[in-house]
Homo-oligomer: A and B are copies of this chain.
Amino acid sequence: MATTSAAQRREQAKRDYDAFLEGCPTRELLSRLTDKWVALVIPALAGGPLRHGELARRIAGVSQKMLTQTLRTLERDGLVTRTVTLSVPVCVDYALTPLGHELFPVMVAIKNWAETHMDRVFEARTQFDARP
């Protein structure tokens, strides 16, 4: 029988899927990945598992509604695991899956890009706003 490696299958997927096309499922996945909270949660979890409250403190200003919602969809998409330890009070840990670890470099790259180029964007905005 023919054997196809994981690398070959990934290559195939890249040919079959195209986010430029309307109706391609990757368009929906792309819109989930391009999310402010996702770009903060994935890097936050890269250092190791964190609890709900720890995440909330790390990502200052996030409401627990958005945090829970984000973690749920990340869990469903196989990027994050949710582990419940029964105790009083109950303890819930979130951690990146292998797939989540593969996404991490991409997410941290956006975050870093914003932090690194903030000043140049500010300059551009000032110039743009000052023109006739």
A102 proximity list for chain B (CB < 8 A):
113, 117
Given contacts A13-B119, A60-B20, A116-B13, contact A109 B111 (CB under 8 A): no
Assess whether B78 is in contact with A99, with CB atoms less than 8 Å apart.
no
Assess whether B44 is in contact with A39, with CB atoms less than 8 Å apart.
no
Distance in Å from the Cβ of A43 to the closest Cβ of chain B? 8
Assess whether B109 is in contact with A109, with CB atoms less than 8 Å apart.
yes
Whole-angstrom CA separation of A36 from B33 in the bound complex? 8
Chief secondary structure at chain A's binding surface: helix
Assess whether B13 is in contact with A118, with CB atoms less than 8 Å apart.
yes
CB of A38 within 8 Å of the partner chain: yes
Assess whether B34 is in contact with A110, with CB atoms less than 8 Å apart.
yes
Distance in Å from the Cβ of A41 to the closest Cβ of chain B? 11
Whole-angstrom CA separation of A84 from B26 in the bound complex? 33
Tell me the A residues contacting B by CB distance below 8 Å.
9-10, 13-14, 17-23, 25-27, 29-31, 33-36, 38-40, 44, 58-61, 75-79, 99, 102-103, 105-106, 109-125, 127-129
